[in-house]
Amino acid sequence: MAKNLKMKSARAALDLSQDELAKRCKVTRQTISAVESGDYNPTINLCIDICRALGKTLDELFWEDKK
């Protein structure tokens, strides 16, 4: 799977560490790291928590238009 750079840059834009984002989503730092590196299939609830913490929507962080 591909890295989630949209998420990574949204997090960077808010100057949040993985650890801080993890706390706000109530998961561990490792889980956030795994989601960003893309070798993961997170649950929708976690995706929604991440979106809310980063001020983005699902489409903005987790959707890719198919060609």
Residue 66 contacts which entry, its own copies, DNA, none (Cβ below 5-8 A, type-dependent): its own copies
Q: Shortest gap between Cβ of 55 and its own copies (angstroms)?
A: 11
Is 22 or 53 the residue whose CB approaches its own copies more closely? 53
Exposure class string for 25-56: b at 16+ Cβ within 10 A, else e: bebeeebbeebbeeeeebeeebbebbbebbeb
> 6: closest CA among 58, 66, 67?
58
Q: How far is the CB of 4 from its own copies (least distance, A)?
A: 10
When binding is defined by CB under 8 A, the residue of 5, 12, 14, 58 that contacts its own copies is 58
